[in-house]
Structure 1
Amino acid sequence: MVTLVLFIALLATAMGQSVVMTILPALGRETGLSELQVAAILSSSACIFALGSTRWSYYAARVGNRRTLIYGLSGYSLGTLCFASVFSVGLAEWLTGYALFGCLLATRVAQSTIMSATPPAAVGYVIGYVRRQNLHSVATLSRVTSANNLGQILGPGLAGLLVTYGLVAPLYAIIVLTCLALLLVWRKLPDEPQSQPVPPKVTTSADVSASSPVLLLLSFAVVLFICMAMLQQSLGFMLIDYFHHSPVNAAQITGTALMISALAALSVQWTLVQRSNFTLMQLLLIAAAAMTAGYVSVATATEVQFIYIGMVGIGVGVGVGYPSVTAAATQHCSDAERAKVTGLMTASPAMGYTLGPPLGAMLYQSDIHFPLYCCVLLSACLIVINLKIQSAFSTK
Structure 2
Amino acid sequence: MSNSHVANVLAKRTLLLAAAAIGFAQTVLFAILAPLGREIGLVEVQIGAIISCSSLTLFLVSPLWGRASDNWGRRKVLLIGLFGYSAGTVMFASVFKAALLGYLIPITALILLIVTRVANATVMAAVSPSANAYMADITSIKDRVKGMGAIGAAGNIGAILGPAIGGLLASISLLTPLYFSVLLTLAAAILTLYSLPELPKSKAVIKRPKLKYTDPRIFPLVVAGVFLFMGFAIVQQTIAFRFQDMLGLDGTETAKIVGISLMCSAAAALFAQMLLIPRLAVRPFVLLRISMPMMMVAFAFMALGQTQGMYLLGMCILGLGMGLAGPGFMAGASVAVSSEEQGAVAGVAGACPPLGFTVGPLLGTYLYSIDGTLPYWFAFTSYALLFLFTLKFKDK
TM-score range relative to shorter protein: over 0.9
Q: CA deviation at 1:60?
A: 0.8
3-state DSSP of counterpart to 2:282 = coil
> What are the superposed Cα offsets for residues 86-114 of structure 1, whole Å, 9 maximum, x if unpaired?
11111111112211111111111100011
Amino acid at match of 1:44: C
Alignment-derived partner of residue 208 in structure 1: 214
Question: Which deviates more, 218-227 or 162-171?
Answer: 218-227
Alignment-derived partner of residue 59 in structure 1: 68
Q: 1:83 to 1:205 in 2, by over 3 A?
A: closer
User: Which of residues 91, 96, 102 is equivalent to 2:100?
Assistant: 91
Alignment-derived partner of residue 103 in structure 1: 112
Amino acid at match of 1:67: K
1:80 paired to 2:125 = no
Alignment-derived partner of residue 294 in structure 2: 290
Q: CA deviation at 1:76?
A: 0.4
3-state DSSP of counterpart to 2:110 = helix
Cα distance between partner residues in 1 of 2:302 and 2:331: 29
1:374 paired to 2:378 = yes
Q: CA deviation at 1:217?
A: 1.1
Between the two proteins, the alignment pairs up a number of residues equal to 386
Alignment identity in percent?
Answer: 33
3-state DSSP of counterpart to 2:202 = coil
Contact 2:99–2:106, Cα closer than 8 Å, also in 1: no
- Which structure 1 segments of 5+ residues have no match? none
Alignment-derived partner of residue 386 in structure 1: 390
Contact 1:204–1:336, Cα closer than 8 Å, also in 2: no
Cα distance between partner residues in 2 of 1:36 and 1:298: 19
Alignment-derived partner of residue 260 in structure 1: 264
> What are the superposed Cα offsets for residues 110-150 of structure 1, whole Å, 9 maximum, x if unpaired?
0001111011110010011114xx76110111112222222
Contact 2:284–2:331, Cα closer than 8 Å, also in 1: no
Q: 1:319 to 1:189 in 2, by over 3 A?
A: same
Contact 2:23–2:162, Cα closer than 8 Å, also in 1: yes
Alignment-derived partner of residue 305 in structure 1: 309
3-state DSSP of counterpart to 1:25 = helix
**TM-score after normalising by structure 2:** 0.94
Alignment-derived partner of residue 7 in structure 2: none
Q: CA deviation at 1:308?
A: 1.0
Cα distance between partner residues in 2 of 1:25 and 1:382: 28
Question: Which deviates more, 259-268 or 270-279?
Answer: 270-279
3-state DSSP of counterpart to 1:55 = helix
Alignment-derived partner of residue 238 in structure 1: 242
Q: CA deviation at 1:213?
A: 4.5
Q: CA deviation at 1:204?
A: 5.2
3-state DSSP of counterpart to 2:197 = coil
Amino acid at match of 1:14: G
Q: Aligned runs of 1:114-129 on 2, under 5 Å?
A: 114-129=123-138
Question: Which deviates more, 357-366 or 374-383?
Answer: 374-383
Alignment-derived partner of residue 6 in structure 2: none
Contact 1:206–1:337, Cα closer than 8 Å, also in 2: no
Alignment-derived partner of residue 360 in structure 1: 364
Q: CA deviation at 1:44?
A: 0.2
Amino acid at match of 2:168: L
Contact 1:65–1:122, Cα closer than 8 Å, also in 2: yes
Contact 2:88–2:119, Cα closer than 8 Å, also in 1: yes
Question: Which deviates more, 287-296 or 134-143?
Answer: 134-143
**TM-score after normalising by structure 1:** 0.94
Contact 1:4–1:144, Cα closer than 8 Å, also in 2: no
Amino acid at match of 1:181: A
Alignment-derived partner of residue 206 in structure 2: 198
Amino acid at match of 1:71: I
Q: CA deviation at 1:11?
A: 1.1
Cα distance between partner residues in 1 of 2:66 and 2:55: 16
3-state DSSP of counterpart to 1:379 = helix
Q: CA deviation at 1:83?
A: 0.8
